[in-house]
Amino acid sequence: MRTAQTIAAQDAVQDAEEQTADSAQSTVENSVPLTGRAKQLACLKPWKPGQSGNPGGRPKNDVAAQIARAIFEQNPEMLYQAFGKALSAGNAYAFQVLSDRAFGKLTERSKLEVSGLDGLAAAIEKGRKRAAKLK
């Protein structure tokens, strides 16, 4: 059971821990420069509640895509030779990866033609009516 005394004792312990952490941090900042493992341990700081580890979020521009586009646009001869070598070695995947990165993946569109489904529209309409009655 939590009482006013236990809550006050916990608060006192937390205050003491914060003071020792602050004094340890100030001695680290004021002492000689740390190296190696000591420096790594001194720099460990946990995230505060509600703080993001990546406040800027994902970058809006993709640098790799810009580089890939520049390669395609500025060096067509070099690109032709390099991919010729890759294809002769049996690697057709290299061109796909670079082009997908530069211009995005292409969406494949196909047209479907079906014959012999004369009564399909009537059957769908009949099914919709039955479903509407069940509601």
**Same-domain check for residues 37 and 67:** no
pLDDT in tens, the chain (135 residues): 567 667 777 777 777 777 665 555 544 455 566 677 777 777 777 777 887 777 787 777 778 888 888 887 888 888 788 888 887 888 878 778 777 877 788 777 777 676 767 777 788 888 888 888 886
- Residue 99 belongs to some domain of the structure: yes
- Residue 121 belongs to some domain of the structure: no
Whole-angstrom distance, CA of residue 25 vs CA of residue 47: 16
Kindly tell me the sign of the dihedral angle through the C-alpha atoms of 61, 65, 68, 73: negative
- Residue 31 belongs to some domain of the structure: yes
How many structural domains is the chain composed of?
2
- Residue 126 belongs to some domain of the structure: no
pLDDT of residue 46: 74
Q: Is the pTM of this model over 0.75?
A: no
**Same-domain check for residues 37 and 68:** no
Which residues form the domain of 37?
4-41
